[in-house]
Structure 1
């Protein structure tokens, strides 16, 4: 059966560590992080070190002319081992994948065949159905921006560390949903922590990742919620002077997500810290306080107006509509000004 939920990789990894292998794995999709994670786990667990010389073959799409070569390799019997492992990386670059359908009719059950198909999904329904009957198909999809904080917290917790919510926001905004890069930055932060320290702070992120702890989307949002106009203006000016590190598209996304969530808060039956956290699937009740503060400044109708305003400026930043020729700094300054004064406008 196809595994399409990004959390399903946990169950797959558990089976691999228990050495419960499938004869064929198809790991495909736009998010390479989970494909590599599962593939690396299979390589680490399928064979003992002394078995690998004769029973492990790793093929790369750039070096394989036709999938018939993969099929021929998979048909071999292992030598003095329970399994042989065939890993095909960059399988999307290999022609003749139709040849796999014949192998699937009578697979070599002592072969573990792992096909890594990146930057998209295999569209051949016959092959997918054939693999699902005997093996596993896993589709690795890009995470939404709203899912990044959960990924960061889970990754850090697995290392028996904790991370400040502001540090989470800084990393999510700066790195985005490139999970391979994001996990690399988290690994770097974990290694760089002072001896005895178990928490990743905004200061650590600033020092090791190169993100300012004072000038970032988290602080801009904080300034808007607190209606701190001077602070918001300073951050907007910094963003304008450092556009590569502070792309407008990311800032607009952060603002949109906040006010879209804020709108949900107005319809929540429980407006306590715990109630809002549950409504928005926040990890900690303390993260709800910005929303509770904003609810005292904005109402649901103003929130709807602001969401429409953000959509308008998003379109203008992409060259659509009036004022489309304005630069990103001017657009952000206008947008933030209008959001800040929206509650006081009739």
Structure 2
């Protein structure tokens, strides 16, 4: 979990509240996680009716938000005002709107907890509001995680749900979904449905969830190429060639291009340990083993040649110099040339 998100949640669980929370940045998962926790846990159910307001930025100019924030709680110690999609506040970019917010940040109402959920971006640091907001509020900026951070995130999340996932399953899930934390957690939640507490999530469960064949998938193709297993490579290529609608070949080529590009970088750092490769290539610890194995099989000139072959195949799949070859033929020729 993001360090600042963990710190905020710890403070909230210990009932240490701030008058203004500014939650901003590209990674919306933590913004939702924290604001949802505040909404669910700060007030008792009997207090929420009169003392908790959830509004949306698009419908709420700054003066409307501050009218809510400046009210006093009724028969409660505090009130909560949550502004979702705060990046859409109509006058947020205007001088008067920013001045009103800045004035409130400087002198907030102590009995109000104002939560601004500013998604996908941060306040403009060139403006006075953006410069001073971090000093005047409990502000957290959440960035998209690196690929290397995803396995730990998934393992920690599934542990919090009382279960575990096989390492191969974590690797497949992270590679398939990428750094979309909302989707990662949704996929995990779906896989846990129907499982008893403590029952592990297997790699087969993950493949079924993401719609991937156990034997014929992009990860098995990469492993076959690393091992330079001609039979297995061609077998998987045949499967993909026969199922191009379900497995777009342009995406497959892009995946392999990324692999060989990172392999080139790894070759330029020969002698690095698995742990060092994780940092250099920004990959998961599980993937580092594959790169170490590939470095034993592929020479530097061959890696460079393969990158060139993948660029050529990408152009052909987009209709450039493809001649009479169909997508399946382009793929089968490509994988054979990648090995030999």
Task: Rate the CA distance shift 1:276–1:175 in 2: closer, same or farther, 3 A.
Answer: closer
Whether the 8 Å CA contact 2:278–2:284 is kept in 1: the answer is no
* CA distance, structure 1, for counterparts of residue 138 and residue 245 of structure 2: 41
Matched with 2:278 is 280
Matched with 1:344 is none
- Normalised to the residue count of structure 1, the TM-score between the two structures is 0.80
Aligned pairs, number: 330
Matched with 1:295 is 295
- Normalised to the residue count of structure 2, the TM-score between the two structures is 0.81
Deviation per CA, 1:276-307: give whole Å up to 9, x if none. Answer: 234325765x7544333322211233334434
* CA distance, structure 2, for counterparts of residue 109 and residue 326 of structure 1: 71
Matched with 2:237 is 236
Gapped runs of 5+ residues in structure 1? 342-346
* CA distance, structure 2, for counterparts of residue 45 and residue 89 of structure 1: 17
Deviation per CA, 1:47-99: give whole Å up to 9, x if none. Answer: 2232211211000234x242210011111122233321100112223212223
* CA distance, structure 1, for counterparts of residue 323 and residue 195 of structure 2: 45
Matched with 2:138 is 136
Of residues 26, 31, 42, the one that matches 1:35 is: 31
* CA distance, structure 2, for counterparts of residue 161 and residue 153 of structure 1: 9
Whether the 8 Å CA contact 1:173–1:250 is kept in 2: the answer is no
Q: What SS does the aligned partner of 2:158 have? A: helix
- Determine if the alignment matches structure 1 residue 56 to structure 2 residue 52: yes
* CA distance, structure 1, for counterparts of residue 198 and residue 44 of structure 2: 35
Matched with 1:226 is 227
* CA distance, structure 2, for counterparts of residue 317 and residue 78 of structure 1: 63
* CA distance, structure 2, for counterparts of residue 86 and residue 304 of structure 1: 57
Compute the displacement of 1:42 (Å).
1.9
Of residues 54, 76, 82, the one that matches 1:81 is: 76
* CA distance, structure 2, for counterparts of residue 178 and residue 155 of structure 1: 14
Matched with 1:101 is 102
- Determine if the alignment matches structure 1 residue 23 to structure 2 residue 19: yes
The 5-angstrom pairing of residues 1-346 of structure 1 reads: 6-62=2-58, 64-97=59-92, 98=97, 99-123=100-124, 125-145=127-147, 147-193=149-195, 197=199, 199-243=200-244, 245-248=246-249, 250-266=251-267, 275-281=273-279, 288-310=288-310, 313=313, 323=322, 329=328, 332-341=331-340
* CA distance, structure 1, for counterparts of residue 7 and residue 56 of structure 2: 27
Whether the 8 Å CA contact 1:83–1:110 is kept in 2: the answer is yes
Whether the 8 Å CA contact 1:174–1:245 is kept in 2: the answer is no
Deviation per CA, 1:112-131: give whole Å up to 9, x if none. Answer: 11111224333263222332
* CA distance, structure 2, for counterparts of residue 114 and residue 196 of structure 1: 36
Compute the displacement of 1:104 (Å).
2.1
Deviation per CA, 1:186-240: give whole Å up to 9, x if none. Answer: 012123335662x221221234443222222211111111212232233334334
Task: Rate the CA distance shift 1:47–1:233 in 2: closer, same or farther, 3 A.
Answer: same
Task: Rate the CA distance shift 1:215–1:146 in 2: closer, same or farther, 3 A.
Answer: farther
Compute the displacement of 1:312 (Å).
5.4
Deviation per CA, 1:285-343: give whole Å up to 9, x if none. Answer: x7544333322211233334434544555566667x755998765554444333222xx
Whether the 8 Å CA contact 1:30–1:119 is kept in 2: the answer is yes
Compute the displacement of 1:270 (Å).
5.5
* CA distance, structure 1, for counterparts of residue 245 and residue 56 of structure 2: 34
Whether the 8 Å CA contact 2:84–2:116 is kept in 1: the answer is yes
* CA distance, structure 2, for counterparts of residue 22 and residue 316 of structure 1: 58
Whether the 8 Å CA contact 1:203–1:213 is kept in 2: the answer is yes
Gapped runs of 5+ residues in structure 2? none
Compute the displacement of 1:20 (Å).
2.2
